[in-house]
Amino acid sequence: MNQDPILAYAELHTAPEPPLLAQLTRETHLQTLMPRMSSGHVQGRFLSLLSHLMRPRRVLEIGTFCGYATLCLAEGLPADGLLHTIEIDPEKEPRIRRYVAAAGITEQVRLHIGAALDVLPGLVDEEWDLVFIDADKRSNDAYFEAVIGQVRPGGLLIVDNVLWSGKVLPTHEVKSGDKDTPFVRAFNDKMAQDARVEPVFLPLRDGLLLLRKK
């Protein structure tokens, strides 16, 4: 679906996209207005790899969208592991639940419908091993501050879309109507200096910021 030659080459040399996820990708492109919001093949396999390496008992996802990353992150869960995922749009709930059921992980996934900052106070008893933040970009800092205290030492936070289509680069002139780019830039700059985490910025797809809690 993406004709970028570097991405095409990367896909050819990455573990195949599982059939259920390929089906979800096709359905997302056919039935949603912004299918590029889905993690996709290479990023999805990367999230799966991290989950398998960490074997997290508790995973938090902020921003479910179609559930693609949800399924990828759940692949590394141990038998007693749980993944909590938060989606603000109730219209997406049926598709998410359908694919979670098709993946056979209904008992390991807790879907919360609502604004993340309203849902998170109800999850204060959890200790997170792995957190994936992929919701509205203006709230990246608010989400980070809301959950960092519950992430275990050595735990991992992943923030998506930190390249923001290249708009974060200093050579990009922010237009007057662009309300998101300044927030993404400010968050990236803050994380580069935050003593609580060790950041690694990966230019994978639209940018992934990996933050290991010290």
More confident residue, 101 or 36: 101
- In this predicted structure, the answer to whether residue 104 has a pLDDT above a threshold of 80 is yes
CB atoms within 10 A of CB 55: 12
Mean pLDDT of the 200-212 span: 96
What is the per-residue pLDDT for 33? Answer: 66
What is the per-residue pLDDT for 198? Answer: 98
Given a contact cutoff of 8 angstroms between Cβ atoms, the answer to whether 73 and 130 are in contact is: yes
Strands 82-87 and 58-62: parallel
Name the domain count of the chain.
Answer: 1
Which residues have a Cβ under 8 Å from the Cβ of 26 and sit 6 or more positions away? none
What CATH code is carried by the domain that includes residue 109? 3.40.50.150
Q: What is the pTM of this model?
A: 0.94
What is the per-residue pLDDT for 2? Answer: 47
What is the per-residue pLDDT for 189? Answer: 98
What pLDDT digit, counting tens, does each position of 158-170 carry? Answer: 999 999 999 999 9
What is the per-residue pLDDT for 139? Answer: 97
Q: How far apart are CA 63 and CA 78, in angstroms?
A: 22
What is the per-residue pLDDT for 35? Answer: 64
pLDDT band at 13 (very low <50, low <70, confident <90, very high): very high
What pLDDT digit, counting tens, does each position of 34-85 carry? Answer: 766 677 899 999 999 999 999 999 999 999 999 999 999 999 999 999 999 9
Tell me which residue range forms the domain holding 193: 5-213
Rg (alpha carbons) of the chain, rounded to whole number: 17
What pLDDT digit, counting tens, does each position of 136-157 carry? Answer: 999 999 999 999 999 999 999 9
What is the per-residue pLDDT for 1? Answer: 44
What pLDDT digit, counting tens, does each position of 177-188 carry? Answer: 899 999 999 999
